[in-house]
A and B are shown apart, each in its own frame.
Chain A
């Protein structure tokens, strides 16, 4: 039977992992987003060398399992401790949290780069031509026409990617990090009650995902006002 006291204790214990999960998600989505912007720019506008580098980056990080990437960064780079110490980077690579954040950022950056690229390629050509035809300089055209149109194209796929990152943070438990899944495993090792603990853990992930979906919906409504129902009467008919 399900023991309510145990359940309450589990919820409390798992709650301690939520900030770690959220921190990893937010950090890697932000850093990965910046990386993705660079990579997408390299693919679309950077000439052969940036294009090649961006392709290689996407190929490698999309083509290998995240778990392998985490292990390589945390355990693999550990073998170079003296060199990393000499470069002053050991403080970073010693911490599982930063290693997980780095791996997640690199991984989601590769996927997000392709999502951004797809969004930009999907911008209707005519909208850009119209901007050029009225004398918009490149940066203005990018900011006022290309970016908003690309963002709304990319947003549904990007929402999926953020949700993937939320769930992928659970892999950080494999390098001793005590986020939701890590704490859950510890609890099971102590109690052998896999059902209650993993149900609770799953519920926490669902809750986080629920919030993410809401944010993506809100962003979609903000970015795509023309997809809302048309106004019944023009508010200010002249």
Chain B
């Protein structure tokens, strides 16, 4: 797909991000940004830190060092005796409400219907009028192809339908950036396509997306940029043609040889 113009502003950026769990260093200085409308595929074998990177962007994980910027707002930090914490909980909530996230395991709220899942945060976090949220949610459910499931509970849906409902839930917040954390890894092969189709449509309408995935075809065909993570560092970063066509990193060649 045609990449957005390099003059577009950055929608999201991280700079020199470090994160460790105990003695395990998961991120060792990651810098990455996405311009508005850019689709970045993040590849890497398990344990490479790609999910952690995504979870640092909306502060589900707190990176020990480095900057996180969403739109024009950088996360403020406060030093603690051990490490640091975000200085302002309201800022974290505000930034999270601007960053939509889609999880590997869907994480729908099982006690609410599909429609209720979609309107929950717009009504209660953004405090938008309920009727408008319902109308918008119905349009979003139609867009992801599950309008007829609006009154079903998540337990009554297939995995692919649940993931599409989760995408509608993320879109309902009007996010500036969408984060996808291995959105198709928990799905049957035949359900993967229906979710990828929805994601491709989102990319085509110019949404900013960071997609952690093992779907090589999606990375090659839909992403504007492909990033390969290995042991907490970025080993490859470039347009899919360049990265897949002439990988510079030996690790990435091995990764491709193993089939992703």
**B150, A234: Cβ atoms under 8 Å?**
yes
Q: Name the one of A126, A134, A135, A225 contacting B105, with C-beta atoms under 8 angstroms.
A: A126
Asked whether, in the complex, the Cβ of A226 is within 8 Å of the Cβ of B154, the reply is yes
The minimal Cβ–Cβ distance linking B169 to chain A, given in whole angstroms, is 8
Majority secondary structure, A binding face: helix
State which residues 187-238 of A face B: CB under 8 Å: 223-226, 230-231, 234-238
- Return the contact of A226 from the options B142, B150, B155, B169 (Cβ within 8 A): B155
Chain B interface residue number, banded? 35 or more
Q: A134-B96, A135-B93 are in contact. Are A238 and B138 (CB under 8 A)?
A: yes
Contact across chains for A136 and B124 when beta carbons are under 8 A apart: yes
Q: Please indicate the chain B residues that have their CB under 8 angstroms from the CB of A134 in the complex.
A: 96-97, 100-101, 120-121, 125, 169-170, 173
- Within the assembled complex, what's the spacing in Å between the Cα atoms of A132 and B97? 9
B109-127 vs A: 1/0 string, CB under 8 Å?
1110000000011001100
From B89, B99, B107, B152, give the contact of A230 (CB < 8 A). B152
Q: Cβ of B125: which chain A residues have Cβ within 8 Å of it?
A: 134-136, 140
**Taking the complex as formed, is B103 at the interface, i.e. its CB lies under 8 A from any CB of chain A?**
yes
Which secondary structure characterizes the binding site on chain B? helix
Distance from A225 Cβ to chain B, minimum over Cβ atoms (Å): 7
A interface residues, how many (CB within 8 angstroms): 30
Is there a chain B Cβ closer than 8 Å to A133's Cβ? Answer: yes
Check if B20 is an interface residue, CB within 8 A of chain A. Answer: no
* Contact in complex: A152, B96 (CB < 8 Å): no
Q: Are A124 and B110 in contact (CB under 8 A)?
A: yes
13 residue pairs A–B, Cβ–Cβ below 8 Å: A124-B107, A127-B108, A129-B103, A130-B109, A133-B96, A133-B103, A134-B121, A134-B125, A144-B120, A144-B124, A230-B153, A231-B151, A238-B142
5 pairs of A and B residues whose beta carbons are closest in the complex: A135-B97, A226-B153, A126-B107, A130-B107, A135-B96
